[in-house]
Structure 1
Amino acid sequence: MARRDASDLATRLGRQAEAVCKRYLGAGRRQGNYWQVGDVRNTPGKSMFVRLKDTAKGPAGKWTDAATGEHGDLLDVIRESLGLIDFADVAEEARMFLSMPPDPEPQPQPKQHARTPAPSGSAEAARRLVAMCQPIGGTLVEAYLRGRGITALHGCGNLGFHPRCYYRPDEHGPTETWPAVTDLSDRITGAHRTWLAPDGSDKAPIDIQRKAMGDLLGHAVRFGLSGDVLAAGEGIESVLSAREFMPGMPAAAALSAAHLAAIQFHDALRRLYVVRDNDRAGDGARNTLTERANAVGIEAIALSPMLGDFNEDLRTYGRDALMAHIRVQLAPQDVARFMLLAA
């Protein structure tokens, strides 16, 4: 759609600004010449203001979120409140609201994303979430990981950042939005969200800081291209901490002990390092994975942390101590092949 057509739609919506707000921002209410709501995604609250009438400050339909600095028009409201991705879907919804005729020159290609909501927690919902994420470089995710001592972020294309990822404590709780790091399996069968504090200094101060969606069993968050050697563990931070000193070794985070035990093996794999957590669940995952690997001719070697996991080791003992601890657990040929040289 041409820019002038989008501008025309926004102007027409602005003439019915209050009706648009009632339809798509129903969690809010009118306050004078403004519609007040939590945010553009229709979260209850009072930080976002939508101008309902033309004023000297600007046209009707323009909005600003005082909490985040976000701003936009009523097309943005339709997009975000319905979770749409393609602008063609946004324009179609706007035309339906305005009872306008359809675009006389529709695109012949089928839409990549239907406007109907994907089932909650499904693989399709995960794919839509991932499509709205951005690379982690320069974001709160990078700041968070560096704060955990993790600096080797090459090959992290399967991590993404969503600046305002939905969070609902339970089915009856209000929807909240927090920054989140999302990660996914090779074929985007699922996604795993870790909510972060707004400044990236820690995880978000909420009860459940991580949630999975889609089909993750057997899959993993993979770092680097698969080869004949793989380091596989539970948590992303633990796996990336071990990978700090083995930058060339492909790695995978299965996200839980149960998922680690069930991780799929690539045909080329010949040696598997099990980056275990130091607890009963970690012992069980190590034993099951070792048995499965040996049964198909894959050598399995456990990498054990000094404390609870390798990120705890990294933050407690420092880089040199953890590097020395990992070195003696690797096969000699992999020390020469993958390990960083001592400083």
Structure 2
Amino acid sequence: MREPAHELARCLADQAEAVCRHYLSSGRRQGSHWLVGDVRNTPGRSMFVRLRDTVKGPAGRWTDAATGEHGDLLDVIRESLCLAEFQDVAKEARAFLSRPREEVPLATNAHQHTRVPTGSTESARRLFAMSRPTTGTIVETYLRNRGITTLHGTGSLRFHPRCYFRPDVHGPTETWPAMIAAVTDLAGRQTGAHRTWLTPDGMDKAPVDTPRRAMGDLLGHAVRFGMPDGVMAAGEGIETVLSLRCVMPDMPMAAALSAAHLSAILFPSTLLRLYVIRDNDAAGDAACDSLVARAAEAGIEALVLSPTMEDFNEDLRHIGPGALRASVARQLVRRDRHRFLNRAA
């Protein structure tokens, strides 16, 4: 019979210093505590782990003074190795506990190989894997508060309850809930991730300087909603694209995440017609012109969808879905108007 989580945590606590030396190798012992930057093994002194029972608490418990996070040594294993599922955490814990005590190294090559560069493609994949579906989470609250109610077919979006946010390379790490979006290539392989940090109630973006950030390999790729065949639409922001999906839920769409990346988005081999979702600003105009020209060179018909206001999310929120649908209808070719708008709710 497998040990329950609390029993695994207790066994790890009996070897707290060995656990820290192995999984938090960037830290060091100071008195009865192990000091390290954070639970992901960043160098520093913000996080401390109790190495023995004291009047303040049992061995194995840890607190990050910079973020207020806390937990046990199972959390250390999960976060330091970026494991998504508890069965993987438990498997790693049992493997560690099965080693002879004296064979636990200060830092093993196997452990070092599990570390990946911050902002890399692999780091983005791990972040998305650690996140969970958005159903019933504050991601839905946030999107609905932006007027976006068509949420089926958004499997490329997930929710992370405590996503790390660092204001700058030297600043302390914070944690905020976040909407995590998978950036994928034309074959569906994840190449990056986009984070939108949210307030705890999901009513707005988090009050930080840059509440949206992307990571990984982004050039040419996008956050995708639906599989493109002969027709698709592409725009900059996730919310802009999701706003159009409220009136055209069956049209495949892609969010390139910025004007520069929109102009460089790659075309599926089957694409015959591309609708370029334009943002009403100078950067949006430049990206639109560049993408239309690239599509024409590739033999793809390119048509521009322009908002009434600054972008289509503003249109959705201020003129409503009915007026938005009418505005979009005038900009579609007839066969697409019948194919996509007639199925809108």
* Same fold? TM cut 0.5: yes
SS at match of 2:11: helix
Q: Show the counterpart of 2:82.
A: 83
Mapped partners of 2:9, 2:344: distance in 1: 60
| Kept after mapping to 1: 8 A contact 2:248/2:344 | no
Q: Show the counterpart of 2:180.
A: 182
Moved more, 37-46 or 256-265: 37-46
Q: How does 1:169-248 map to 2 (within 5 A)?
A: 169-183=167-181, 184-185=183-184, 186-248=188-250
Mapped partners of 1:283, 1:34: distance in 2: 57
The Cα shift of 1:138 comes to 1.0
Mapped partners of 1:316, 1:49: distance in 2: 51
| Kept after mapping to 2: 8 A contact 1:29/1:35 | yes
Q: Please tell me the residue identity of whatever aligns with 1:250.
A: P
Q: Deviations over 1:266-318 (max 9, x none)?
A: 11111110011001111111111111111222111100001111001111211
Q: Please tell me the residue identity of whatever aligns with 1:143.
A: T
Q: Please tell me the residue identity of whatever aligns with 2:284.
A: G
Q: TM-score, normalization: structure 2? A: 0.81
Question: Residue 64 and residue 138 in structure 1: after superposition, are their counterparts in 2 closer, same or farther (change >3 A)?
Answer: farther
| Kept after mapping to 1: 8 A contact 2:83/2:130 | no
Mapped partners of 2:320, 2:216: distance in 1: 36
| Kept after mapping to 2: 8 A contact 1:79/1:90 | no
Mapped partners of 1:295, 1:288: distance in 2: 11
Mapped partners of 1:7, 1:201: distance in 2: 35
Q: Please tell me the residue identity of whatever aligns with 2:202.
A: G
Q: Show the counterpart of 1:12.
A: 11
Question: Residue 197 and residue 51 in structure 1: after superposition, are their counterparts in 2 closer, same or farther (change >3 A)?
Answer: farther
Mapped partners of 2:9, 2:242: distance in 1: 45
Please point out which of 309, 315, 330 is paired with 1:313. 315
Question: Residue 342 and residue 209 in structure 1: after superposition, are their counterparts in 2 closer, same or farther (change >3 A)?
Answer: closer
Aligned length: 330
Q: Show the counterpart of 1:105.
A: none
| Kept after mapping to 2: 8 A contact 1:36/1:50 | no
Moved more, 285-294 or 22-31: 22-31
Q: Please tell me the residue identity of whatever aligns with 2:163.
A: C
| Kept after mapping to 2: 8 A contact 1:305/1:313 | yes
Q: Please tell me the residue identity of whatever aligns with 1:168.
A: R
| Kept after mapping to 2: 8 A contact 1:235/1:254 | yes
The Cα shift of 1:127 comes to 1.2
Mapped partners of 1:18, 1:245: distance in 2: 57
Please point out which of 284, 287, 290 is paired with 2:286. 284
Mapped partners of 2:100, 2:177: distance in 1: 31
Q: How does 1:114-129 map to 2 (within 5 A)?
A: 116-129=114-127
Question: Residue 124 and residue 37 in structure 1: after superposition, are their counterparts in 2 closer, same or farther (change >3 A)?
Answer: closer
Question: Residue 42 and residue 122 in structure 1: after superposition, are their counterparts in 2 closer, same or farther (change >3 A)?
Answer: closer
SS at match of 2:265: coil
The Cα shift of 1:252 comes to 0.4
The Cα shift of 1:342 comes to 8.2
SS at match of 1:213: strand
Q: How does 1:304-343 map to 2 (within 5 A)?
A: 304-340=306-342
SS at match of 2:190: coil
Q: Show the counterpart of 1:161.
A: 159
| Kept after mapping to 2: 8 A contact 1:75/1:90 | yes
The Cα shift of 1:38 comes to 11
Q: Deviations over 1:157-181 (max 9, x none)?
A: 1111111111111111111111111
Mapped partners of 1:136, 1:320: distance in 2: 26
| Kept after mapping to 1: 8 A contact 2:231/2:251 | yes
Mapped partners of 1:284, 1:97: distance in 2: 63
Mapped partners of 1:124, 1:38: distance in 2: 22
Q: Please tell me the residue identity of whatever aligns with 2:229.
A: G
| Kept after mapping to 1: 8 A contact 2:27/2:34 | no
Q: TM-score, normalization: structure 1? A: 0.81
Give the unaligned 5+ runs of structure 1: 103-110
| RMSD value, Cα | 3.9
The share of aligned pairs that are identical, in percent, is 59
Mapped partners of 1:124, 1:258: distance in 2: 23
Q: Please tell me the residue identity of whatever aligns with 1:210.
A: R
The Cα shift of 1:77 comes to 2.5
Q: Deviations over 1:86-142 (max 9, x none)?
A: 43444445666944689xxxxxxxx9x985311121111111111111111111111
